[in-house]
Amino acid sequence: MGLRSSTWLTALLVLLGLTVVGSVVPAPVVALGPGPTFDTLGDVDGTPVVSAEGLPTYPTEGHLNMTTVGVTDGITTIRALGLWASGTHRLAPRSSLYPPGRSTDEVTAENQQEFDSSIAYAEAAALNHLGLPTRVTVGTLTDDSPSAGVLEVGDEIRDVGGAPVTSVQALLDALAGTRPGEPLALTISRDGGAPREVTVTPAPHPSDPERAFLGITPATTPADGQRLSITLGDVGGPSAGLMFSLALVDKLTPGPLTGGRFVAGTGTINAEGQVGPISGIRFKMIKAQEVGAETFLVPAANCAEAASDAPDGLQLVRVGTLDEAVGALETLDAGGTPASCTG
C-alpha cells in the first residue's frame, strides 16, 4: 500500500471513529427551541386550564395561547449539530440550565415552584384588575417547608409580625424585615374560623441564605365561597403569568376579549399586574405562528429582541401591564391599532 493510500485510509478511519463517537456520546449542551403551546381559554385532557367557582362567568371566543421554550437534553453531538443547523434551535451549555452540583430533579422542582408562584400572581393580578375583594392565603407548601405542621394550604394570613397583610406584597415586605431562625408570629384564619396566632421559625431562603423563607407560595384569593383555579401539568417557569391573567379576565367579564382572534403571548406578571421579561422569545413566536396565531403579546422589555427576529406576518403587541394588555385586545376588537414593538 502506498503512502498516499495509507494516509487516506487513516483519515477515513478517524472520520468514521468521530462519526460513531458523535452519534453515541452525549454532548455537553442542550438545544433550546419552540416548545408546546396551550390555549388558556381551552381544556387540557378534559380539564379547563382556568376556571372560577362562586363568580359569574361568561362565554369566550378565539384563543389566548401561552407559549413555552422546549429544552432537548441528553443529545449527541451529531443531533446537536442537526438541531443547530435547522435554524429553529439554539445550543447552550448544559451547565447554564443544570448548574454543577444541582440535580435535574432539583432544577425541575425550582421551575415548578416558579410556575406555582406565577399562578398565584396571575390570579392576584386578575382579581385586582377586576376590583374584586381579596384575601392572602397559603397557596402551596414547599417540600421540607418550615411552615409544615403549622400552616395549611388555604389558611388566610391576616398579620405577620404585627404588620397587617393586605396583599402578597405586604406579606413579602413584612418578611423582608425578618431573619432566618427568628421565630415569627402570624395571625391566621382557617376554614372561616376565628383569627388565631401561630409561630413559624423561617429557614434560610434557598437562593439567598440571608433572607427568611416560610416555605409557602402566597396566593391572592377571592372572598369566601369563591375560588379561582389554574391547572396545567408538565410546565415550569413563570412566563405564563400574563396569559393566565388574561384568560381569567376574559372568563369573568362579558364579551369575548379576543374578538374571536387567535392571540398568543408570554410574560411574567406580579400581583400589581406588571408584566416582566422572559427568555426564548424567538422560539415562542415561531411556535405561535406555527399553530395559527395572528397576534403575539410581547413584554415591553422584550420588544427590541422580538422586533428584530419576528416571523413574517405575526403582529407584535407591546404590553407593560395587565391593564395595557386588556386595552390592547379591546383596541384590536374595535378595529384599532394597539402599541407595537416597532414604534
What pTM does this model have?
0.80
Q: How does DSSP classify residue 25?
A: S
pLDDT digit of tens for each residue in the chain (343 aa)? 444 455 544 444 444 443 444 445 577 887 788 999 999 999 998 899 999 988 999 999 999 999 999 887 888 888 878 877 877 888 878 787 778 887 888 888 888 888 888 888 899 899 999 998 888 999 888 878 999 999 999 999 999 999 999 888 889 888 888 899 999 999 999 988 899 999 999 999 887 888 899 999 888 888 777 888 888 877 888 899 999 999 999 999 999 999 999 999 999 999 899 999 999 999 999 999 999 999 999 999 999 999 998 999 999 999 999 999 999 999 999 999 999 997 5
Tell me the C-alpha distance between 133 and 148, whole Å: 28
State the catalytic residue, choosing from 117, 245, 284, 287: 284
- Burial bucket for residue 118 (CB in 10 Å: 0-12, 13-18, 19+): buried
Active site residue 287: no
CB 265, CB 243: distance < 8 Å? yes
Show Cβ contacts of residue 250 under 8 Å, excluding neighbours closer than 6 positions.
Answer: 41, 60, 64, 256, 257, 258
Q: Where are the domains of the chain?
A: 33-69+109-118+225-333, 134-222
Active-site option among 239, 245, 251, 287 = 239
d(CA 56, CA 52): 8
Cα four-point dihedral sign 176, 178, 179, 185: negative
Same fold for the pair 33-69+109-118+225-333 and 134-222 = no
Closest CA to 70 of 108, 109, 31, 105: 31
pLDDT, residue 104, reads 80
- Is CATH 3.40.50 the right assignment for the domain spanning 33-69+109-118+225-333? no
CA distance 47 to 185: 39
Which residue, among 159, 168, 164, 228, has the nearest Cα to 198 in the 3D structure?
159
Distance in angstroms (rounded) separating the CA atoms of residues 4 and 6: 5
| CATH level 2 (architecture), domain 134-222 | Roll (2.30)
At residue 329, the pLDDT reads: 97
